[in-house]
Structure 1
């Protein structure tokens, strides 16, 4: 079955219920299921009239928007293949993907994205037309605005039948190293993933939920989650600029939303930073509230009854502390899938205590996202949860996690060599992650195998847990540990410039740029003490001996981090090799 059959199903069930939310002219607007289906079918007919056939490719290079998802669903509905391109990708990366995938049509978002694609017309093969989603700039040849593209198209369309094996999308992995590989996912991969989530979580009336899509739709996590929400009839609102997430949460008031650990780490660090300057009374109230919330969350997790007196205390804790934080997140969030990187148990416990449950999970683009996830009860902090659907796991050489299941990709597009490398002879897929399974079936990710470091003294160091310790601090935004073949551990540290700015004032430092700040002796001394305090319980060989404070964030646009905010270790190490060498040559 074509996964876009949800259009017909949900339009029959509730034609006037909102399906899509989006912001236009500073106001949130909606598309009903009936209107959503009409827009998709008009786009589908226009694609067919433009010569797009079954199994042809349609690329989307744009920020989140209703146009993005409409083009995606329309492409799938005609039996063609969607090729998402990260909106933050530079011209070189876009050129590689377009040359490799050879789409017939590209949908672009803003003018910069349009110009990048138009400049590629003479350098690529197969691209016949560029469609611009926005209508606020002038087009060149072989281009058309989306509104004009679909203007005369009919809204009557018969969705093309697809089998489980038919290709739905090619998602190029951003990866933390190497050139992108095109992951081939089928209609069956998506449908089985949707079914697995329904069975695992046993959702009730999920069509009443409202999701906020702020992670890039070009990433498998947000895309799979959004299509899942649509498959069961839930509403999804699309946020174009993820930097506006704080306002969007209060405006949209979503009940569900997928996110990455960094989102929660920042909130956790921000709350702890506010506590530093709080009065002794407020600190005591907050500590009491967290203690009370922890007792309640532990009983809920273990399916135990909550005593009357504890429940009354929890209501007071909510009124005095937790509701203020929940309100900043919109006030209605209850189901929050979290993946893309590791998250420390301190953060998940902290949010659980406030009654904001983070559903931690583990997956990859190659597995159609989720392999394991926290169930609603009996989950174990510090793990990535339990197997979902028909997924299977075994631990191979070097503790590598090997997986099987209906979510596993068809292979890498036009890349049989890399496809062969990732599968064992008996069909298990190598994840590249190291982990362990406990007796209760909980998976713990220990680290990326490629990231595992060995010092010149022969000591092995897993960087992720240590980096998470530091990232949970309000003065540290990003950190990269360095130790491989080195005599000791060092680090590149990107400060949280918002909190550092306040600290600089108290230190009496005047400055004109951040380079001056991070090189200042007082700031260096402050971070040295901060680091020493954080790593007090680490083994001696794991401790950071020297560090460099960076004057600017690692950026997606510069290729230093992935769209899920993971640092591309190899790229950063190469880019800042000179600085790193100075650490060890002093």
Structure 2
């Protein structure tokens, strides 16, 4: 079945006047579209794409920030059997050109002026496959003589009725280019069946009650398989999805929208966790005692719920008081209604998931890749194990292969890499299992624990193996550390490049009456380095001696997407960072 049809038709028939999506235009209020109106705009867009010459299996690209138009365009393209090719809004012109040419995209939706300008340059090139540019915002200046149209004008005269293109489960719905922490990005072919079967498996796994009443906020990039799959799943189940264009506005938007569900990356949870602990430490001894008591009470109740055991009446009373005095204040900052938060992209420490669970917010830690339509394993609502990546989704099988590599089979496994049969062959075993490139182990009750990326495992000159993600994750749980890159391969000890959390460091400077000059000078100051030395010593006291960071360099600025140091999903491109800062690293040895 066509994925777009599976999402739209049943919801329009079931509740045409219920809200489907929400969006905000600049400084205005949030607006909603009903399923009837949402479907009509999708149908008009789909018919306009057909009128523009887009045929079944043609590639249609999206180069834009999150928006309602993004989702409308995605569903419209799939509805007529075209293949959607998302491009990160943070990709530069050269990166966008590579994806457009590699996929052979004929038409593109551009979001802002810089994205349009990059596309305009391509349309002018004879060798480019790009023929037409659609622009979602009227604020963007366009050149109509170069096949450029505003979306509003593009769909104006099209019919709001549509005949869906029939699709088999194994036919390609989208090409998602891997963000590529190493090597050249490859187009992952995901099918209509990959998505539909994965969605059905999630609903079987969780057995949600009243899912149609949920509200999800899409703030991670829709280009990434995680947010895209989650937002499509929400729509598939009849829940509302609001789209946040600028993720920097997340704090304000949470309080405005008050979502009940939202997927996020580990850094989101780490920042909240570290911020709350920091505030508790700064409070009076009485406030600290109340906070510790509330945390202990929340932990007791959450453990009973996790193990499906009844909560004694007296403990329920304590829980209500703990929520009133402590947890409600934290939850209000997150909108006050969040209860279910899928988390992916990297590992998350058990103390962080326990903290949120104590507040009554279920962080569903999961594991998966672009090549597996996101989810392979995840926390159930109960009987999960903190510190793991949960249990397999229905329809998924995992096994541990050579070198402890996690291998998978099942509904979500990609069809292959677009136009790269040799690359595809490399990632499958002879008996058809997908090789994830991650190392892990499975316990007696079926919980998967990720030990590290096989490519990232480091061996010191003393022959000791270091798993950097676990140590990096431990250190970034602290509020004063924003980003970190461990160095150990071939070295006699572990060192690190550390990006401070400049917001918290600035507050620390004020408290210590250290005048601020610029970050280059601040990170070189002895008292600042001594402060971080103590922090790091305290954090890693439980690690083995060979795993501990012995030396570090504080960086004066964050690693950036724009200069290729991190991916759009905030994963550090280790090889690039190590090469770029090789001089800094050598000084530590």
Same fold (TM over 0.5): yes
Which residue of 76, 80, 93 maps to 1:78? 80
SS at match of 2:123: coil
Contact 1:4–1:73 under 8 Å retained in 2: yes
Q: Does 1:191 align with 2:192?
A: no
The alpha-carbon deviation at position 417 of structure 1 amounts to: 1.3
Contact 2:78–2:84 under 8 Å retained in 1: yes
Quote the Cα distance in structure 2 between the aligned partners of 1:144 and 1:512.
48
The alpha-carbon deviation at position 563 of structure 1 amounts to: 2.1
Quote the Cα distance in structure 1 between the aligned partners of 2:229 and 2:130.
26
Quote the Cα distance in structure 2 between the aligned partners of 1:195 and 1:519.
54
Q: Does 1:344 align with 2:345?
A: no
Q: Does 1:57 align with 2:50?
A: no
In the superposition, the TM-score normalised over structure 1's length comes to 0.99
**Alpha-carbon RMSD:** 0.9
Contact 1:507–1:522 under 8 Å retained in 2: no
Contact 2:509–2:516 under 8 Å retained in 1: no
Which residue of 497, 503, 506 maps to 1:501? 506
Q: Does 1:325 align with 2:323?
A: no
Per-residue deviation, residues 180-232 of structure 1 (Å, max 9, x unmatched): 01100000000110110011001122111110000000000000111111111
Quote the Cα distance in structure 2 between the aligned partners of 1:275 and 1:313.
19
Per-residue deviation, residues 409-444 of structure 1 (Å, max 9, x unmatched): 000001111101000100001000000000100000
Q: Does 1:2 align with 2:2?
A: yes
Q: Does 1:233 align with 2:238?
A: yes
Per-residue deviation, residues 100-122 of structure 1 (Å, max 9, x unmatched): 01111010001111111112224
Question: Hey, what does 2:142 align to over in structure 1?
Answer: 139
Question: Hey, what does 1:127 align to over in structure 2?
Answer: 130
Contact 1:102–1:126 under 8 Å retained in 2: yes
Quote the Cα distance in structure 2 between the aligned partners of 1:197 and 1:185.
17
Matched ranges for 1:109-120 at <5 A: 109-120=111-122
Quote the Cα distance in structure 1 between the aligned partners of 2:209 and 2:287.
39
Which residue of 278, 286, 295 maps to 2:283? 278
The alpha-carbon deviation at position 132 of structure 1 amounts to: 0.7
Per-residue deviation, residues 495-553 of structure 1 (Å, max 9, x unmatched): 00010001112232223311111111111111111111111121111111111101111
Q: Does 1:12 align with 2:13?
A: yes
Question: Hey, what does 1:521 align to over in structure 2?
Answer: 526
Per-residue deviation, residues 60-97 of structure 1 (Å, max 9, x unmatched): 00000000000000000000000000011112211110
Quote the Cα distance in structure 1 between the aligned partners of 2:563 and 2:497.
17
Question: Hey, what does 1:308 align to over in structure 2?
Answer: 313
Quote the Cα distance in structure 2 between the aligned partners of 1:490 and 1:374.
33
Per-residue deviation, residues 444-500 of structure 1 (Å, max 9, x unmatched): 000001111000110101111111111000100111110001111000000000100
SS at match of 1:120: helix
In the superposition, the TM-score normalised over structure 2's length comes to 0.98
Per-residue deviation, residues 258-281 of structure 1 (Å, max 9, x unmatched): 111110000011111112211000
Question: Hey, what does 2:566 align to over in structure 1?
Answer: 561
Contact 1:368–1:409 under 8 Å retained in 2: yes
Quote the Cα distance in structure 2 between the aligned partners of 1:509 and 1:516.
12
Q: Does 1:390 align with 2:392?
A: no
Q: Does 1:459 align with 2:464?
A: yes
Matched ranges for 1:133-532 at <5 A: 133-140=136-143, 141-532=146-537
Quote the Cα distance in structure 2 between the aligned partners of 1:138 and 1:94.
20
Quote the Cα distance in structure 2 between the aligned partners of 1:485 and 1:383.
29
Contact 2:219–2:250 under 8 Å retained in 1: yes
Which 5+ residue runs of structure 2 have no aligned equivalent? none
SS at match of 2:479: coil
Per-residue deviation, residues 123-152 of structure 1 (Å, max 9, x unmatched): 452211111111113212221111111111
Per-residue deviation, residues 169-188 of structure 1 (Å, max 9, x unmatched): 00001021111011000000
Contact 2:186–2:417 under 8 Å retained in 1: yes
The alpha-carbon deviation at position 99 of structure 1 amounts to: 1.0
SS at match of 2:254: helix
Quote the Cα distance in structure 2 between the aligned partners of 1:143 and 1:455.
55
Quote the Cα distance in structure 1 between the aligned partners of 2:571 and 2:291.
32
SS at match of 2:321: helix
Alignment length (residue pairs): 584
SS at match of 2:508: helix
Quote the Cα distance in structure 1 between the aligned partners of 2:345 and 2:42.
30
Contact 2:122–2:128 under 8 Å retained in 1: no
Contact 2:389–2:447 under 8 Å retained in 1: yes
SS at match of 2:375: strand
SS at match of 1:224: helix
Quote the Cα distance in structure 2 between the aligned partners of 1:248 and 1:468.
27
Question: Hey, what does 1:34 align to over in structure 2?
Answer: 36
Question: Hey, what does 1:99 align to over in structure 2?
Answer: 101
Question: Hey, what does 2:539 align to over in structure 1?
Answer: 534
